[in-house]
A and B are shown apart, each in its own frame.
Chain A
Amino acid sequence: MATLEIRDLHVSVEADNGSREILKGVDLTVKQGETHAIMGPNGSGKSTLAYSLAGHPKYQITSGQVTLDGEDVLEMSVDERARAGLFLAMQYPVEIPGVSVSNFLRTSATATRGEAPKLRTWVKEVRETMERLHMDPAFAERNVNEGFSGGEKKRHEILQLELLKPKIAVLDETDSGLDVDALRVVSEGVNRVRESGEVGTLLITHYTRILRYIKPDHVHVFANGRIAESGGPELADKLEAEGYEAYTKDGATQ
């Protein structure tokens, strides 16, 4: 069973006035089949955690450990992490001029699966997945993220999640900027992947709204660069009622 283990992770970024520590000792274990919601105020370091796991060069790991099934993730390059089964649905997906969605999807599927998917089944697979995400087939011929609306970008991220079938999926504020209809469609996509039981999901969000559609097994409150409190789904209800104030008051704000 795939397991992502994060141990005492410290991460810094270079700022104008030197290096600044954003993550201050994160401990978390995500197992295949589980869904963990990470909730927290702006600036608490949630996205830093997501990008650090994926290996974005901007973030420097100063200490700590991340392993996937015992293998050292921090030693892997960005593409190796993806091929090992780590997936990051990005908050701000990047435009890639000149590369069509269909070409991009096939290239990434080939890379992560280790062989080119059979053309006939692949075309069908993409088409059906796009239909379920209410995406127009013409979408496949557009350039990656170029001129996409906010909702289209997020659907495209979830399309990749469904096609690449990672072991661990990190969803970085996939819900932000979506209207209720789009949120429902995107959540259904995430739930289809979860129902396979083969993915561990780390759902990073600012709002409790998405948790009405995607039910987490565990909820963690993130504040000041670490997990301040962990609990079951009832913790989300508490946050819904009380907000993050309790976690930001005692000197936790930056």
Chain B
Amino acid sequence: MNFTNFGRYILLLKSVFRKPEKLKIYLKEIAKQMDYVGVGSLGLIAIISTFIGAVMTLQIAFQLVSDFIPKTIIGSVNRDSSILELSPTISAIVLAGKIGSAISSEIGSMRVTEQIDALEIMGINAPGYLILPKIISGITMVPMLVIISMFLSISGGYIGGSVSGAVTPAEYLQGITTDFNPYTIVVALVKAFVFGFIITSVPAYEGFYVRGGALEVSQASTRAVVISCISILACDYIVTQLLL
């Protein structure tokens, strides 16, 4: 059953990447989706990232109680954790909930109200028109959100450390600038690219093949979020294993 679904998912992706009927209309749709995925999620990502950074600083400070460990390590650990894991993965899981469920519901509703059939009858490649702009917006905007998330998470750590007194601003700044490896940013962006693809394509697949009515659309939406989250975590492991 899962192999059947995977096969149908691959076949759907094949249809998605067919040549667009009219590039201008697709570009307009891509811009609309980028606004929704990127700008529309900015506030949520900003709040979550800042608090995660602040909490991380407090927890690292709590666990590293030793005179042999310099406090600058708090900044270093927070920086690497934020860049490599927390910003890409937590952002992706949050976005899977926000964007994934919306994509699945939108496409699923279009399916059960015959709007997708209407597109097909008109001679329009429905998977391409409905899904391609979402995937392109996902693979471009999620990495941008992740970059913002990294910055805010590290800044959140600075604020959290300063306010609580767990680490001084000077020690924290010294920590985040010591032994920085720019390759970690590359790893994070590869993860963000893969997650952006999953967050948009998996819910689109679930919505596209819905049969039934409102109940089935909501079930597909739930399934889309669950499968997206599991896929994100599995791909997180695979990308980390391959690149680090």
Query: Does A pair with B?
Result: no
B interface residues, Cβ below 8 angstroms from A: none
A interface residues, Cβ below 8 angstroms from B: none
